Amino acid sequence: MSTSEKSGYHHGDLRAALLSAAMEMLEAGEPFSLRAVARRAGVSPTAPYRHFKDRDALESALAVEGFRDLLADLGDGHDLPTSISDLAEFAVAYVAFALRRPALFRVMFGKPCDDADDARVKAAGDLHELLADALDRVTPEADASALASAGWGLAHGLACLHLDGKLRAASDEDVADQVRSAFLAITSISP
């Protein structure tokens, strides 16, 4: 083993270094394999297998990081919404995340959660729970879980439509205005 491979593995946190290298490659649009990630991290080609059984496991770990980052965008340091307008800002933040980090967003939602992958299932569940808590606070008389699914579906659909070029906007503020308008239009419908 070369000196760089030794120092690469013993630098501290191999898993974090591999995830960082994979995230850089993903967000730069570079195709990656475990071998390419190892090369980027400066470790031996077999080192990633200490933490990830295959590329799918690495992608799942990236998805978990993405869910945590998205939750941070939505919740850390912010009070839970108290109005429908505040909820619309959740949708705006969700779409902004997708547009800012499209490759990660696609990894997060590109495959179904494997029920055996507790971290990914929990991370996706934490997002749903945050939305349900927010909706329960704003609309305590409604079914918060069903509304969370509907709100998530609306924000996710808008994010995908923007990512796929089906909805166009001249600026980030135009995107935010479109998302707010769509969210507020749907929530203004009464039975």
Distances (CA, A) of 32 to 19, 54, 59: 12, 12, 10
Tell how far CA 78 is from the center of its chain: 18
Task: Tell how far CA 190 is from the center of its chain.
Answer: 31
Question: Do 90 and 182 fall within a single domain?
Answer: yes
Is 37 in the same domain as 99? no
- Identify whether residues 88 and 136 lie together within a single domain: yes
Of residues 124, 144, 128, 136, the one with CA closest to residue 67:
124
* Residue 20, phi then psi, degrees to nearest 5: -65, -45
Integer Cα distance of 62 and 161 in angstroms: 23
Tokens of 3: 């000196």
pTM equals 0.86
Q: Residue 130 has what pLDDT?
A: 86
pLDDT tens digits for range 161-184: 999 999 989 999 999 999 999 988
**pLDDT bucket at 191, cuts 50 / 70 / 90:** low
Task: Find the helix or strand (DSSP H, E) in which 141 lies.
Answer: none
**Which residues have C-beta within 8 Å of that of residue 80, sequence separation ≥ 6?**
133, 134, 137
One domain for residues 28 and 70:
no
Range scoring the smallest mean pLDDT among 85-89, 156-160, 186-190: 186-190
Whether residue 67 sits in one domain with residue 105: yes
pLDDT of residue 2: 42
Residues 40 and 109 in one domain: no
- Split into its structural domains, the chain has a count of 2
Is residue 91 domain-shared with residue 183, that is, in the same domain? yes
Assess whether 105 and 165 both reside in one domain.
yes
Q: Which residue has the higher pLDDT, 146 or 49?
A: 49
* Mean pLDDT (the chain, rounded): 86
93 and 164 in a single domain? The answer is: yes
Domain of residue 83: give its range.
55-187
In whole angstroms, give the CA distance from residue 34 to residue 40: 10
Indicate if 89 and 28 belong to the same structural domain.
Answer: no
Do both 45 and 60 map to the same domain?
A: no
Looking at the fold, whether 112 and 176 belong to one and the same domain comes out as yes
The per-residue pLDDT for range 1-40, each reduced to its tens digit, is: 444 444 444 557 899 999 999 999 999 999 889 999 999 9
CATH number of the domain where residue 183 is located? 1.10.357.10
Residues 6+ apart with CB under 8 A from 108: 63, 66, 67, 70
Taking residues 100-122, what's their average pLDDT?
84
**Residue 97 in this model has a pLDDT that exceeds 50:** yes
Distances (CA, A) of 188 to 2, 118, 185: 64, 37, 5
